[in-house]
Structure 1
Amino acid sequence: METSQFKSEEIHQRFLKFYAEAMKKLPVPMEILDIKTTYGTVRVYQFGNRGGLPILLFPGRAASTPMWETNLSGLLKTHDVYAMDLLGEPGLSTQTSPIKNNHQQADWVEEVITELEVEQVHLLGVSFGGWSAVNYAVHYQKYIASIILLDPALVFAPFSLKIILFSLISTLPFIPESWRKKSFSWISGGAEVDPENSTSLLISIGLKDFAIKTPAPKQFTVEELNGIRPPILVIFAGKSIVHDSVKALAFAKSLSSKVEAEIWPKASHAINGEFPDEINARVGRFLAGMNV
């Protein structure tokens, strides 16, 4: 098996059920697109129809479009939004050819944005989605107006031992379900996570029962990061278990002057769901400063 896929059709159908339930909580998309790329078909939703430069969302690992439930309404007050399910991750995108390196990870994103026929887009990624957005920017920049990163994983600091432990607990099949549920609370800064929430169920199924066959992400070099021309806003979570946020902030600030970096002390790695209004306001100020 060289492409990412669910471990059984039964699991896939269960996932689709929860996905449909979760999508009902989002604004109604203006258009639903299935864009064919070299490596598979990518599901993209267009929200809003105001014109101007849109925001393109990159969800976290094992997540998909429903994870943006708390963010979309706020973002749509100022910008159109495109949300996509990442290729090689659990969602409604379907990988059909092997993705063997980071350049190919960026290739399909470039094909998607080209198909959207937009002048430029603002990239907004959380966690692994932040890594995916930066990886795209390392290889292609023509369509990028700006980059916004919410506690991005493996971009400005290495993984912590805590996130490695979380990955083991959430993915190994023999781990007790009670431990798995507890680990979701852990990554959310100790907050209680509703195990019956459809979005939480999607991520849980994705972590445990979806075989990811894309290359493991690697931290970028200083040269790669400094080679990114568009302005970057990065918000680190003070309670993140993914990395040492203080060290990540220091490294980000040592880079190009185009990088604005800050820590939100009360936020966990689940920052987009914890502080949606504050994130929308901060994104709005950042983009307003660019006059777009």
Structure 2
Amino acid sequence: MKIRKIIGLLALAIVIISCNNEHSNKKDYSKYTAKPDYVLNPDAQFKTYFKAYDASLKLWGTPYEELYIPTSVGTAHVIVSGPKNGEPLVLLHGMNATSTMWYPNAKAFSLDYRVYAIDFILEPGKSLNTKTFDNVDEIAPWYYEIFDALELEKFSLMGASKGGWLSVKIALYNQDRIQKIVLLSPAQTFIWIRPSMDLLKNIITMFSSDDTKTTQTLKTMSSNVDNINKIYLEQFYQSHTKDSISKFIMAMQPFSKRDLQSLKMPVLVLIGDDDAINNSKTIKMANEILPYGQGQIIKNAGHFLSIDQADAVNQKTLNFLNIKNNK
């Protein structure tokens, strides 16, 4: 009888501990859900843009909530989806693309992971800056303000283009909290952007109309522009009428071999075979310099490979994240 009683008490203790752990994983973000005034009552120039943004967000494909987190330089907008007890996956978008660019990927990632997509505060989106950064080294600490508010102790990072460069910058700032990194055609991270006819055309059209400029950008960055959802395209066009060439763009230089070799977490690098930003040298460096790196090329994809070949990117990303130890 005593043995049965002890076993019963042990079982009860296990249930209580399990419930406590489950409860602790379900973070309460209710204090960040109220929409700020700049979203509720936007200026005329932003009203149309926010409408386009919200239309794109409906493409997310899975339930989500929007958070507005106060930071030292303004309000950070974060889209959150996926199971509350799922492992955290932070998404950082490309330049002026906003978090809605992840619409072909969010549903797949959100099946098992708790997804956090953050709008960069100095670019179009729903984040709003009231101050700016004095130098590029202040950007990583700003992201950690958000991570702290979200109570993310350990998480994986996924960044596209400029978001890839920022992902490495964030990891170098504090490696202990980053479990894994996925880089989609990271800009200026391994190599300098090489000159090309497409990039020359982009420079030439900088002084053209917004429509001409944006159309040329899309042709350069995507291998199949017709594959991009028209609703997102509308928002993308509007983003480019409000685009921001960050004052820190010139500070985005390839990381040193020493910095790359210091990364102690598994890193997956994916580029398109028709990538205007990277080439096979990026993959070679990812495989040879990163201690736990692996680089792969996605066929029939340009710089916007998360849209051009969403299924392939989703599958390779999830396979990488799901492996318990990539080292």
Q: What is the TM-score when the length of structure 1 is the normalising length?
A: 0.87
1:220 alignment partner in structure 2: 255
CA distance in 2, matches of 1:178, 1:33: 34
Please point out which of 252, 256, 273 is paired with 2:286: 252
Alpha-carbon distance, 1:211 to partner: 3.3
2:144 alignment partner in structure 1: 110
1:16 alignment partner in structure 2: 50
CA distance in 2, matches of 1:176, 1:53: 40
CA distance in 2, matches of 1:286, 1:64: 24
1:77 alignment partner in structure 2: 111
Task: Quickly say closer, same or farther: Cα 1:229–1:209, change in 2 above 3 A.
Answer: same
Gaps of 5+ in 2: 1-41
Supply the RMSD in Å over aligned alpha carbons.
Answer: 2.4
Alpha-carbon distance, 1:281 to partner: 1.6
| Equivalent residues in 2 for 1:74-153, closer than 5 Å | 74-153=108-187
Larger radius of gyration: 2
Alpha-carbon distance, 1:90 to partner: 0.7
Q: Is contact 2:267–2:290 with CA below 8 Å preserved after alignment?
A: no
CA distance in 1, matches of 2:76, 2:99: 12
> Deviation digits for residues 43-63 of structure 1, max 9, x if unmatched?
012102241321111111101
Task: Quickly say closer, same or farther: Cα 1:180–1:48, change in 2 above 3 A.
Answer: closer
Alpha-carbon distance, 1:208 to partner: 3.5
Alpha-carbon distance, 1:27 to partner: 3.6
My pick for the range that moved more, 34-43 or 173-182, is 173-182
Task: Quickly say closer, same or farther: Cα 1:191–1:32, change in 2 above 3 A.
Answer: closer
Gaps of 5+ in 1: 1-7
Alpha-carbon distance, 1:193 to partner: 6.2
2:233 alignment partner in structure 1: 200
Q: Is contact 1:88–1:212 with CA below 8 Å preserved after alignment?
A: no
Q: What is the TM-score when the length of structure 2 is the normalising length?
A: 0.78
Alpha-carbon distance, 1:28 to partner: 5.1
Alpha-carbon distance, 1:167 to partner: 4.8
1:211 alignment partner in structure 2: 244
Q: Aligned with 1:181: secondary structure?
A: helix
Q: Is contact 1:57–1:123 with CA below 8 Å preserved after alignment?
A: yes
| Equivalent residues in 2 for 1:25-104, closer than 5 Å | 25-27=59-61, 29-104=63-138
> Deviation digits for residues 5-28 of structure 1, max 9, x if unmatched?
xxx954422211211111122145
Q: Aligned with 1:235: secondary structure?
A: strand
Task: Quickly say closer, same or farther: Cα 1:129–1:213, change in 2 above 3 A.
Answer: closer
Letter in 2 for 1:267: A
Q: Is contact 1:19–1:198 with CA below 8 Å preserved after alignment?
A: no
Identity of aligned residues (%): 25
Letter in 1 for 2:51: K
CA distance in 2, matches of 1:229, 1:174: 45
Q: Is contact 1:30–1:49 with CA below 8 Å preserved after alignment?
A: no
CA distance in 1, matches of 2:87, 2:258: 28
CA distance in 2, matches of 1:242, 1:119: 32
My pick for the range that moved more, 260-269 or 24-33, is 24-33
CA distance in 2, matches of 1:14, 1:161: 36
